[in-house]
Amino acid sequence: MRHRAAPAVSSASPPEAGGSTFGAVRGVVTSAAATRRRPSMPAGMRPTVDIGSHRASSPVRIGFGITRASSFLMVRRWLRLATIRLISPCRDPLATSRETGSDSCIDGGHSSRELGLGTRIGGRTMTVVTDVDRQEPWPELPWREWEPTISTLHRWVQILGKVRMALAPPLNHWWHITLYVSARGLTTGAVPYGRRSFQVDLDFIEHRLQVTDSDGGAFNLRLEPMSVAIFYREFMAGLRGLGIEVRISTTPNEVVDATPFDVDERHASYDPWHAQMFWRGLRQADRVMNAFRSGFIGKASPVHLYWGSFDLAASRYSGRPATGHPASAPNCPDWVMEEAYSHEESAMGWWPQIEAPGPAFYAYTYPEPEGYRSVSVRPGDAFFDDRWGEFLLPYDAVRSLPDPDGAVLAFLESTYAAGADLARWDRSALEPGERPGRPPRRPWSTRR
């Protein structure tokens, strides 16, 4: 996380956990409906609740996987038009990063929005990934214009994350509360609820929120311009419709404007293109950061999204404890930060900031060793930001380089090595003797 702790609210215990609580704010989880049994139904006949519009007074139940012929013909006709190949020149179509195995081609073509490839199908907004998108894995991001959507989406994601925090067993460094990048957006992964589980997914291609549970139930909420208050009410009502009763603190964390979710009518923007481009930036960062994780065998976090500071993050640990963290974040108790930074770490991440220089990769070592700020790191576009106390590599600089993947990997490796050496980490015990192949064909953690 970005020199900030995970969210400062407490979570409630899951059903059947004895009602214990932890954190600064007590929450309540009602388990009466958690054991409700649904009648069995044939495979492939699972009901779906589609909250098609936030203006609807109640959820609308649609059929059991049956689509109308008119909708099918509309989709087929539209997709046929969308399959026209949109070819534009590429600087180096054969260049590939050996570490990630992905093309490092930079395309100068138009974005899908400029080409008008966003439409509504069957009442839903859908964005199609075109050939231009595939040729430009590191697209230009509209960070100068996306603040309204990012600010609203930030609060929506906090609501989802707080639900996960209220129900998941606590893990060191708040690893139990995060979301993950998925093939279509963001996901909570499986969240326990009594003997059941459920999952929340944000789909930035079809622009919908979907909740599915282990009993076969589901509900959808269309992602469109709506206030945080309406999103909160619709999402919590959808959970209750699946028999999931959970109470969360409605105060957002790590943001200056802490208007409670249930009364926040100010943040109400959702531009589908901005949301998808945010996800495409996340997806590239997630892919390269996961590749970098192969070079470490000590304690390390997954690559995950902290919804407080709204950054994609991952950390490596020396194995030694750290002293109490002196910094603080808006609307976040200090003890939360102390838990987050309980051990020495080398942190990396990607943050969709809306101020210059725009979205950027970041890296820092905590506690910061003497001389860390003055070390030379790669690539040349990276620099140390005194305001944030970390190294930054702007996304716009990355996408302009011949090998963006290689540039990010060089940034992550050089900043980690500098911090680990200055802090005297036992790198021989924390790093593999060799990088594993894909797929691995022999042990790599034990070879020396």
pLDDT tens digits in sequence order for the chain, 448 residues long: 654 333 333 333 333 333 332 233 323 333 333 333 333 334 443 444 444 444 433 333 333 333 333 333 333 333 333 332 222 333 333 333 444 444 333 333 333 333 334 445 445 556 656 555 666 889 999 999 999 999 999 999 999 999 999 999 999 999 999 999 999 999 999 999 999 999 999 999 999 999 999 999 999 999 999 999 999 999 999 999 999 999 999 999 999 999 999 999 999 999 999 999 999 999 999 999 999 999 999 999 999 999 999 999 999 999 999 987 777 789 998 899 999 999 999 999 999 988 999 999 999 999 999 999 999 999 999 999 999 999 999 999 999 999 999 999 999 999 999 999 999 999 999 999 888 888 888 888 875 5
Q: What is the pLDDT of residue 125?
A: 58
The answer as to whether 383 is a domain residue is no
Q: CA distances (Å), 431 to each of 167, 174, 416, 426, 436, in order?
A: 34, 24, 12, 9, 12
Measured CA to CA, the distance from residue 113 to residue 132 in angstroms comes to 11
**How many Cβ atoms from other residues are within 10 Å of residue 213's Cβ?**
20
The answer as to whether 238 is a domain residue is yes
Measured CA to CA, the distance from residue 184 to residue 282 in angstroms comes to 11
Of 392, 399, 162, whose CA–CA distance to 277 is shortest? 399
340: Cβ–Cβ under 8 A, 6 or more apart, which residues? 1, 5, 6, 173, 174, 325
Q: What is the pLDDT of residue 328?
A: 77
For the record, the structure tokens of 411 come out as 């940034």
Q: Within 13 A of 93's CA, how many CA atoms are on the CB side?
A: 8
12: Cβ–Cβ under 8 A, 6 or more apart, which residues? 21, 26, 27, 28, 29, 166, 167, 246, 247
Residue 406, amino acid = G
The answer as to whether 225 is a domain residue is yes
Work out how many domains the chain is built from and give that number.
Answer: 1
The answer as to whether 64 is a domain residue is no
Measured CA to CA, the distance from residue 45 to residue 47 in angstroms comes to 6
Q: What is the pLDDT of residues 122-136, one digit of tens each?
A: 455 566 565 556 668
Domain carrying residue 152 = 11-32+147-173+182-263
The answer as to whether 200 is a domain residue is yes
Q: What is the pLDDT of residue 129?
A: 60
Peptide bond preceding 379: is omega within 30 degrees of 0, i.e. cis? yes
> Which of helix, strand or coil describes residue 413?
helix
Of 417, 412, 253, 424, whose CA–CA distance to 336 is shortest? 253
**b/e string for 88-104 if b means 16 or more Cβ within 10 A?**
eebeeeebbbebbebbb
Query: How are beta strands 60-62 and 48-51 bridged, if at all?
Result: antiparallel
**How many Cβ atoms from other residues are within 10 Å of residue 292's Cβ?**
20
> Which of helix, strand or coil describes residue 186?
strand
Q: What is the pLDDT of residue 111?
A: 37
Q: What is the pLDDT of residue 445?
A: 84
The answer as to whether 39 is a domain residue is no
Q: What is the pLDDT of residue 446?
A: 78
The answer as to whether 293 is a domain residue is no
Measured CA to CA, the distance from residue 211 to residue 46 in angstroms comes to 13
Contact 207, 326 (CB under 8 A): no
Q: What is the pLDDT of residues 143-192, one digit of tens each?
A: 999 999 999 999 999 999 999 999 999 999 999 999 999 999 999 999 99
The answer as to whether 396 is a domain residue is no
